[in-house]
Amino acid sequence: MRSSFLIANPKGGSGKSTLATNLAGWFARRGFATMLGDIDRQQSSREWLRLRPPALPRVATWDLEIDKPARPPKETTHVVLDTPAGLHGRKLAQVLKVVDRVIVPLQPSMFDILATRQFLDVLLEEKEVRKHHAFVGVVGMRVDGRTRAAGELERFLQDAGVPVLTFLRDTQNYVQAAAHGMTIFELSASRASQDWEQWLPLIAWAETGEADSAD
């Protein structure tokens, strides 16, 4: 396995499945053998996979065998794990042992920021993160990076030592693409070029581990 990513936030509705499906779709479009694993009881990502047209780059899911643990298909090089709200404790520690990077989606409301900051404090105390086996980055969801809300989010997280990788705008492109098992990268340039551009810092971090400041 080449790279594995955990998409996590303790708060429901933060945009975890949006991030997970689009990141997995990006890797698949690059030609990587990609698996999208859903450990959320709602199984949002698995439902997205069922909708995905067979003509699009394939995104696999768990290999499931009776009386055996779920596992990635043997040829898998890139794994993206979607997670339930409230992931913590032993389960969080177990998942961190098998991933390389952690991406935390965060909306710029005070309630979301406070809940997520507490989660980040816990996350950064986990043994696997302290050993640098996992790197953590935040993605601002449904926010314009030029606004005061974006600036406040960055300032709030600055002292935690966690980078804001990018900001993804509030657009129906994500909703409409997801409804057809697609990603924004499979929409036309005339419709989604602004969204593609916003993903570039996140993709660079996913591929290199180095983060630039979000604009």
Q: At residue 211, does pLDDT exceed 70?
A: no
Per-residue model confidence as pLDDT tens digits over 127-170: 778 776 678 999 999 888 788 877 878 887 777 778 889 999 99
125 pLDDT tier (thresholds 50, 70, 90): confident
Cβ-proximal residues to 70 (8 Å cutoff; 6+ apart), any chain = 37, 62, 63, 64
Which domain, by its residues, includes 174? Answer: 3-208
Residue 214 counted as domain residue: no
Nearest to 197 by CA among 177, 162, 169, 161: 169
Residue 121 counted as domain residue: yes
Residue 135 counted as domain residue: yes
Query: What is the reported pLDDT for 120?
Result: 87
Residue 40 counted as domain residue: yes
Torsion sign (Cα): 39, 42, 45, 47: positive
Nearest to 206 by CA among 155, 163, 170: 163
Per-residue model confidence as pLDDT tens digits over 46-70: 889 999 999 999 999 887 665 555 6
Domain of residue 59, CATH code: 3.40.50.300
Q: Name the pTM for this structure.
A: 0.89
